Structure 1
Amino acid sequence: MAIAAARLGLNCVSIGHVGKEIYGNFLSDVLRDEGIGMVGMSTNDDTVSCSGASYETLLCWVLVDPLQRHGFCSRADFSKDPAFNWLNKMSREAKLAIKNSKVLFCNGYGFDDFSPGLLLSVVDCAVEVGTSIFFDPGPRGKSLSSGTQEQQRALNQFLRMSDVLLLTSDEAESLTGIGDPILAGQELLKRGIRTKWVIVKMGLKGSILITSSSIACAPAFKVNIVDSVGCGDSFVAAIAYGFIHKLPMVNTLAFANAVGAATAMGCGAGRNVASLEKVVDILRSSSFHEDREFWTDILEKKVIDQEVTCLSNIVMNGNRNHVNFIPFDKVASELLPKLEFPQTVENVPT
């Protein structure tokens, strides 16, 4: 996520733990080359009291089958405790990094690294200093919701205190018991205290952004999919860009879909995620999977009291079935100048 965000022009730091072995050095080098800062979670007391394998960088193996379905495996999957369970509190540097940030992104895999208590302190810190929290529970959300009391408490706190929630339709259903993605998103909004946006990722169909008063949706772009690993995190980077720059919601979704699609055209995550040039090329192509029947069917029952916008390749005047279709050419004409401009001038940190 950080690499994709940095390539979009956002000023990023990564907060976590990296060991001093070959893998940790490699990761530190990659982040530095991408212009991303690294802030350690551990304090001096933690560093002194811990050594050996539990201090080493957590490696994650990404398993992909011929149908492009993927799973993740690390040493945390073979232990009841998080990999860095010895970390008891955040470092002063980590707290300062959160305070100086506009957005803090966390996902469910963070529970593989850190204890629920430490993650709760991260949430409390961000809330206290007014930093917006983005949370993507991912596949871990389902197991955490039936995990230990500490895991359930931390998960519920993330779901209630995050400003933006990002989930697939399956993940939204597993956390709410509601199969309809819009109704599930609205339920998560009701449960939230600070929640402003709930974004449901619909795979090849596109994505939906739900607020208390409006719904926006955007179809996915047509690209040659090589590998879907990293698409979700790249998508989040663009959502953060739109949130920070206060872009219209449908513009933000179109941008995020394009970034996710650009990553899908490459192989693997990390440094193989989307480049800004690829994203611009996709936005210029205006070729996406527009299933008007699908979107009309999924939206028409939920628009009584809400403003609904949907990205479309077809130029239409006014509303149809209470849905306001926004021409893609209009959205692209507003997005492209913002994205092409940083290529010609010095990047200014956001």
Structure 2
Amino acid sequence: MPLESPVLSYHGPFPHPILPRNPRLAYPVFPPSPRSVVFSCRGVGIQDSPPKHGSGNGVVQQDWKLRSAGVKDKDMDVATLGNLCVDIVLGVPKLPPKNPHDRKAFMDRLSASPPEKVRQYWEAGGNCNIAIAAARLGLRCVAIGHVGNEIYGQFLLDVLCDEGIGMVGMSEDTNVLDGPSALYETLLCWVLVDPLQRHGFCSRADFSKEPAFSWLRGLSKEVKMAIKKSKILFCNGYGFDELSPNLINSALDYAVEVGTSVFFDPGPRGKSLCNGTPEEQRALSQLLRMSDVLLLTSDEAEALTGIKHPILAGQELLKKGLHTKWVIVKMGSRGSILITMSNISCAPAFKVNVIDTVGCGDSFVAAIAFGFIHNMPMVSSLVVANAVGAATAMGCGAGRSVATLEKVIEILKMANLNEDDKFWNELLAENLSAQEITFLSKFVINGNKKQLKHIALQKVVSELLPKLESSRAEGKVRS
């Protein structure tokens, strides 16, 4: 039975029967508008430059440039590296088999089906989730990556433009490229949902030993400019599915050189990268050592350190890091932890009606970037991130369905914490080497232990709401 999505279902007359109308777009996303694929939104500073066609391989010959004249240093907030894809959300009778050969055959059958014969919904995926969530918090964002010159790529550009997110293509000169056109097409990720609402994911990157865009070998001047002008460069483990380890390392080295903070979320790929090729292992090691902020789940922290306790695992990552300031462990429905060399901050999650958890981790990252850039207290950064992740979980899917500021403010005002005292007491009972532990509670508890400092949620929220509501009043963000 196909997935019936209340967010993406088709209701209106426009050219294509399978593409949903974006409720936030004033025009259908198909067919693509005849404008340039490069755009300037929300002061992003992207110089319009029409694409050059005619290469015959389906790739946009990207001549996308950042304006340098009159631009201050670090006038961008967040740049995302790679991992730009279109999610095709599809209801299936059962999830694909685990066997790689059978799984590929399953995906090939899906890909071979004419669009008109498949009940499907399209959404911007990958790092688009982070960029959209960050832009809705008022941050200035640019996506660095590759999209092809086909309807999927045009759809992705339409979504980014509508959300006020700039785009810088990674390919500098595609005239020299040669090979099957599929190599240059926008990466598609099939998001498969069975009748029990369980998710399965697959894309062509899952079935190749080489990254999907292995033909990208160096950083163009435009990409370097985007990194240099951004306060944060975000990378994640899925970037290795598209870009070579050497190229990712080059971006990391350049960010460090120009003083751009690096956020890295290894995701599920962290474990496989630990056992990957020598190049992957070296790149992973460099990212763990040189990133300013590491974000990972407790399972991922254990996989990378061999330490089950999330706080001790985070402290181990801090010790091994050269630039690492924050290690953040995402604990799902229980909340999150931020670890520094001198402090541990813990924030239980918010209780909400969860519909879909896809995109929650990405939204969380965007809010951590918001707190980092605005030099907010660490526990306040966790509170915003937990609220943004919860707001995304209340929607269906990611992309344009990630948290809106209006929903985030609503969750903060409700102040409904999922306080699991037993879990947190056991977690904090360990002999943790930190000067201070800050713990978010619904109420301040008298008689705090010397090491443990409780902070009231209401105090944090009262300081956060004026900042967020000011952004909404000024029309900086989408509500």
Secondary structure at the counterpart of residue 83 of structure 1: coil
Cα offsets for 1:28-86 (capped at 9, x unmatched)? 00000000000011111x45414611000011122345676544311010111000000
CA contact (8 A) 1:303 1:322 kept: no
Paired residue type of 2:275: S
Amino acid at match of 1:344: A
Shift of 1:317: 3.8
Q: Take 1:67 and 1:159, find their aligned partners in 2: how far apart are those partners?
A: 37
Which amino acid is 1:14 matched to? A
- Equivalent residue number for residue 86 of structure 1: 215
Please tell me the root mean square deviation across aligned C-alpha atoms, in Å.
1.5
Shift of 1:196: 0.4
- Which residue identity is paired with 1:25? Q
Q: Which residue of 2 aligns with 1:62?
A: 191
2:177 corresponds to 1:49: yes
2:407 to 275, 278, 293: 278
Query: Which consecutive residues of structure 2, in runs of 5 or more, have no partner in the other structure?
Result: 1-129
Alpha-carbon distance between aligned partners in 1 of 2:280 and 2:190, rounded to the nearest angstrom: 23
Distance 1:70 1:160, change over 3 A: farther
Q: Distance in 2 between matches of 1:98 and 1:126?
A: 6
Q: Using the alignment, how far apart are the partners of 2:193 and 2:259 within structure 1?
A: 39
Which amino acid is 2:307 matched to? I
SS in 2 for 1:226: coil
2:300 paired with 1:171: yes
Q: How many Å separate the matches in 1 of 2:233 and 2:217?
A: 20
Match of 1:190 among 300, 311, 319: 319
Pick one of 244, 247, 270 that aligns with 2:373. Answer: 244
Shift of 1:93: 0.7
**Match for 1:34: what amino acid?**
E
Larger radius of gyration: 2
- Residue number in structure 1 paired with 2:70: none
Describe the shift of the 1:33–1:68 C-alpha distance in structure 2 as closer, same or farther (beyond 3 A): same
The 8 Å contact of residues 68 and 228 in structure 1, kept in 2 or not, is answered as no
Could you tell me the percent identity over the aligned residues?
70
Deviating above 3 A after TM superposition, structure 1's stretches of 4 or more consecutive aligned residues are: 63-71, 302-305
Amino acid paired to 1:195:
T
Alpha-carbon distance in structure 1 between the residues aligned to 2:299 and 2:420: 20
Could you say which structure has the higher helix fraction?
Answer: 1
Asked if 1:160 corresponds to 2:289, the answer is yes
Q: Measure the CA separation in 1 of the matches of 2:141 and 2:224.
A: 15
Does residue 225 (structure 1) correspond to residue 354 (structure 2)? The answer is yes
Q: State how 1:290-305 maps to structure 2 within 5 Å.
A: 290-303=419-432, 305=434
| 1:265, distance to aligned residue in structure 2 (A) | 0.3
- TM-score normalised by the chain length of structure 2: 0.70
Say yes or no: does 1:22 pair with 2:136: no
Give the aligned partner of residue 323 of structure 1: 452
**2:334 is matched with which residue: 193, 205, 209?**
205
C-alpha deviation, 1:140, in angstroms? 0.5
SS of the equivalent of 1:319 reads coil
Contact 1:300/1:321 (CA < 8 Å) preserved in 2? Answer: no
Letter matched to residue 191 of structure 2: V
Residues 321-345 of structure 1 show CA distances to partners (whole Å, capped at 9, x for unaligned) of 7311110000000100000001122
> Secondary structure in 2 aligned to 1:236?
helix
Q: Report the counterpart of residue 118 of structure 1 in structure 2.
A: 247
Q: Which amino acid aligns with 1:178?
A: I
